[in-house]
C-alpha cells in the first residue's frame, strides 16, 4: 500500500468512527415501525396499539402508503414481502402481478408509439400508460399475509387508509410529482380528475381528498362485513370483490375500452403466492432474500464474493474498499442481467449462482487496481438483453418501504411499488394501473422475456438478516436498480463496521450504472459510478485513477433511502434514511 493510500485509509476509518448522524437512532424494547411518512408509521402503530401483530401493522402501513404516497406506489401495484413469525422459518409472499394473457413480445414489437411517448420508444416496451400494466398483485399479497399470519380484519387494517383517503394534508414530494406530471395526466381524463380534485393543482399542506379511492377501500371492507364464515372466509370475500367482483369488472372494462390488455379473466385467475426465500451466509449471518423473480439474490452473490476480503482492514469508504465493493457488485449485477427471471418460466442456474465456489471464481476477475469496463456475466447459458438503455419517455417515480417488528419478535419487511405517477386511473375506482411491464425484455431466449402469465423480474428486494436463526435486522428501500447496491453497503456498514442503524443508512454511498437498467429513463454506462460529494476528494480522485467513470453528485443524492430495524439483546434500534425523509418510531 502506498503512503498516500495508507493515509486515505486511516482518514476514512477515523471519519467513520467520528461520524455524527443527522437524526438520532430510535430505540425501544417493544415494537417499531419504519416507513416513508408519518401517516404510514401511524397506521401501523395504530394496529400494534390495538393488539395487532407485525403483519397487521405492516398491512395497514402499506395500505396507507397506497393513499398518501401515490407518487411512488398505488393500490394497483406490486410487492414482495418477507415475513418471519417468532419461532418459525421466514417465508416470502409474492404479491407481484403477472403479464396479462394478451401481452406477448410480438404485440409490443409491433405496437405503434403513443402520443405521450418519445418517438424512440418504437419497438420497445412502454414505461407509462395503460399498455405498461401488469395485473395488480399487492392487494392479494396483503390479503394472503393477513389471512395466514395476521390477526385483524381487513376493515380494521384499512381504517387508517380510508381515513386518509377522505382527506389528508399532502406533502411536498407528492404534490410536486402531481404537478410535474400534469402534462402527461392530461392524456387520461380519469387521472386528471383524480389527482387534481376540483381542478385544483395540489400545494404542500393542502387537504387532499381522494374520494374514489376511499369508496373502493370502503367497498372492500363492506364485502368482508357482509360475508359469512370464519375470518379467512371473510377475507376471501375481499379478494373476490377486487379480483372477481364489481371492482375487477370496472378495472377490466376500463382497460378494454381504453387500449389496455388486462381482461376480467386475467384478474379472476390471479392469486398471490407463498414462496420460499433464497438464502445465503456471510461471516456467520444468514441472509434472507426473495427469489430470482426479483433482483434479491444479487446481494447474496455480491456478499459471497466480498467474504473473501478483509473489508474492515481496508477502512470504511477507502479507495480499496469502495473499489472492491463496486467491482463485486458489478459482477453480481451482470449475472442478474443475464440469468434472472420468473423461475416458473425460465430455468435459472440458481445453485451455481449462489455457491461459494462460483463466488471464488468470480472473485478472481477483480483487478485491485483497475475498474472493469466489461459486462461479465458468468455461469452457463448467459443471455444478455439486446438493448443497453430503456425507453426515454419518462422516468419512474419508483417504490417505497415498510418494516415492522412487534413485541413477540415477529418481522414484516416489504417493498411496495408500482402504479406510481404518472398513472392511469381505472375509471371511478381510484386504482392506478401498474407500469411494471417495462421491466420485462423482448429478447428471445432471455430468462426475463415477456410472456403471458409471467412475473417481470422486479428490482424490489426486502432483506432480513438472521443471527443464530433469530432476526438480527430487517431492511427495505426504494431505488430501482440501486436497491441492492444501497442495501449491500448498509449491510456491510452494520456487519463489518458495527455502525448503529442510523449511522449505517446515513453513511456516504456509491451507485454503479454498470448494469442493464430495469426501468425507463436509465442507461447502461460501462464503468459509470455516482459518488456522493461527502466522500473525501482524495478518495474520489483515487477512484477515477483506477478507471471508474465517476460522476460526483450532491451530498445526499443516492437514489435509495432504507429503513432498518435491528434486534439485538432485547433492544430494537431503528435507522431512517434522511435522503427521502424516511420515518421510524418505536418504544
Q: In angstroms, what CA-CA distances link 287 with 1, 296, 334, 467, 488? A: 32, 10, 20, 9, 11
Strand 26-28 with 571-576, pairing: antiparallel
Residue 188 CA to residue 474 CA, distance in Å, equals 39
Residue 499 CA to residue 19 CA, distance in Å, equals 10
89 Cβ contact list (under 8 Å, min separation 6) = none
**Cell numbers linked to 395:** 422516468
Catalytic member of 216, 399, 429, 500:
399
Query: The cell 461459494 sits on which residue?
Result: 356
Strand 571-576 with 549-553, pairing: unpaired
20 Cβ contact list (under 8 Å, min separation 6) = none
Residue 60 CA to residue 404 CA, distance in Å, equals 11
- In the chain, % helix, strand, coil (3-state, to 5) comes to 40, 15, 45
Is 324 marked active-site? no
Count CB atoms within 10 A of the CB of residue 327.
26
Determine the Cα angle at 457 with ends 453 and 458, to 5°.
115
Query: Across the chain, which distance is largest between two alpha carbons, in Å?
Result: 75
Strand 549-553 with 528-532, pairing: parallel
Collapsing DSSP states into helix, strand and coil, what is residue 565? strand
Write out the catalytic residue numbers.
399
Amino acid at each position: 500500500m502506498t503512503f498516500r493510500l495508507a493515509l486515505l485509509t486511516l482518514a476514512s476509518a477515523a471519519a467513520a468512527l467520528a461520524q455524527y448522524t443527522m437524526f438520532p437512532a430510535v430505540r425501544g424494547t417493544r415494537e417499531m415501525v419504519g416507513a416513508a411518512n408519518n401517516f404510514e408509521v401511524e397506521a401501523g402503530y395504530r394496529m400494534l396499539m390495538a393488539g395487532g401483530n407485525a403483519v397487521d401493522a405492516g398491512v395497514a402501513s402499506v395500505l396507507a402508503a397506497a393513499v398518501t404516497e401515490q407518487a411512488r406506489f398505488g393500490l394497483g401495484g406490486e410487492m414482495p414481502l418477507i415475513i418471519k413469525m417468532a419461532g418459525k422459518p421466514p417465508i416470502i409472499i409474492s404479491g407481484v402481478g403477472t403479464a396479462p394473457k394478451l401481452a406477448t413480445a410480438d404485440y409490443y414489437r409491433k405496437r405503434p408509439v403513443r402520443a405521450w411517448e418519445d418517438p424512440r420508444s418504437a419497438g420497445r416496451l412502454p414505461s407509462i400508460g395503460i399498455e405498461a400494466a401488469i395485473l395488480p398483485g399487492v392487494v392479494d399479497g396483503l390479503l394472503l399475509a393477513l389471512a395466514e399470519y395476521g390477526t385483524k380484519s381487513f376493515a380494521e387494517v384499512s381504517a387508517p387508509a380510508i381515513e386518509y383517503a377522505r382527506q389528508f394534508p399532502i406533502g411536498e414530494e407528492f404534490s410536486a410529482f402531481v404537478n410535474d406530471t400534469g402534462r402527461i395526466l392530461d392524456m387520461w381524463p380519469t387521472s386528471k380528475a383524480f389527482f387534481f380534485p376540483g381542478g385544483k393543482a395540489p400545494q404542500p399542506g393542502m387537504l387532499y381528498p381522494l374520494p374514489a379511492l376511499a369508496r373502493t377501500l370502503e367497498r372492500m371492507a363492506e364485502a368482508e362485513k357482509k360475508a359469512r364464515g370464519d375470518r379467512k372466509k371473510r377475507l376471501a370475500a375481499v379478494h373476490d370483490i377486487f379480483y372477481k367482483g364489481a371492482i375487477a369488472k370496472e378495472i377490466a372494462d376500463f382497460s378494454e375500452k381504453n387500449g389496455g390488455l388486462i381482461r376480467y379473466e386475467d384478474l379472476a385467475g390471479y392469486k398471490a403466492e407463498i414462496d420460499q426465500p433464497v438464502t445465503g451466509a456471510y461471516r456467520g449471518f444468514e441472509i434472507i432474500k426473495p427469489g430470482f423473480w426479483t433482483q434479491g439474490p444479487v446481494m447474496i452473490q455480491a456478499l459471497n464474493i466480498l467474504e473473501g476480503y478483509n473489508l474492515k482492514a481496508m477502512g470504511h469508504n477507502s479507495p480499496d474498499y469502495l473499489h472492491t465493493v463496486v467491482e463485486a457488485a458489478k459482477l453480481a449485477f451482470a449475472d442478474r442481467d443475464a440469468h434472472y427471471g420468473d423461475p416458473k418460466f425460465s430455468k435459472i442456474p440458481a445453485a451455481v449462482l449462489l455457491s461459494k465456489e462460483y463466488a471464488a471464481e468470480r472473485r478472481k476477475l477483480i483487478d485491485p487496481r483497475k475498474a472493469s469496463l466489461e459486462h461479465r456475466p458468468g455461469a452457463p447459458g448467459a443471455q444478455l438483453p439486446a438493448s443497453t438503455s430503456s425507453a426515454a419517455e419518462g422516468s419512474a417515480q419508483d417504490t417505497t418501504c415498510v418494516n415492522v417488528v412487534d413485541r413477540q419478535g415477529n418481522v414484516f419487511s416489504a417493498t411496495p411499488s408500482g402504479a406510481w405517477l404518472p398513472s392511469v386511473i381505472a375509471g371511478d375506482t381510484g386504482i392506478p394501473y401498474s407500469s411494471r411491464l417495462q421491466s420485462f425484455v423482448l429478447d428471445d431466449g432471455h430468462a426475463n422475456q415477456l410472456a403471458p402469465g409471467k412475473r417481470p423480474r422486479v428490482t424490489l428486494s426486502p432483506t432480513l438478516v438472521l443471527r443464530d436463526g433469530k432476526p438480527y435486522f430487517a431492511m427495505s428501500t426504494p431505488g430501482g436498480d440501486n436497491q441492492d447496491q444501497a442495501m449491500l453497503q448498509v449491510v456491510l456498514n452494520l456487519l463489518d463496521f458495527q455502525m448503529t442503524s442510523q449511522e449505517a443508512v446515513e453513511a456516504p454511498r456509491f451507485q454503479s450504472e454498470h448494469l442493464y437498467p430495469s426501468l425507463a429513463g436509465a442507461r447502461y454506462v460501462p464503468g459509470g459510478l455516482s459518488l456522493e460529494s461527502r466522500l473525501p476528494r482524495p478518495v474520489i480522485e483515487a477512484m477515477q485513477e483506477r478507471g471508474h467513470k465517476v460522476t460526483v453528485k450532491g451530498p445526499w443524492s443516492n437514489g435509495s433511502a432504507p429503513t432498518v430495524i435491528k434486534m439485538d439483546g432485547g433492544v430494537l434500534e431503528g435507522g431512517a434514511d434522511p435522503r427521502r425523509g424516511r420515518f421510524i418510531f418505536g418504544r
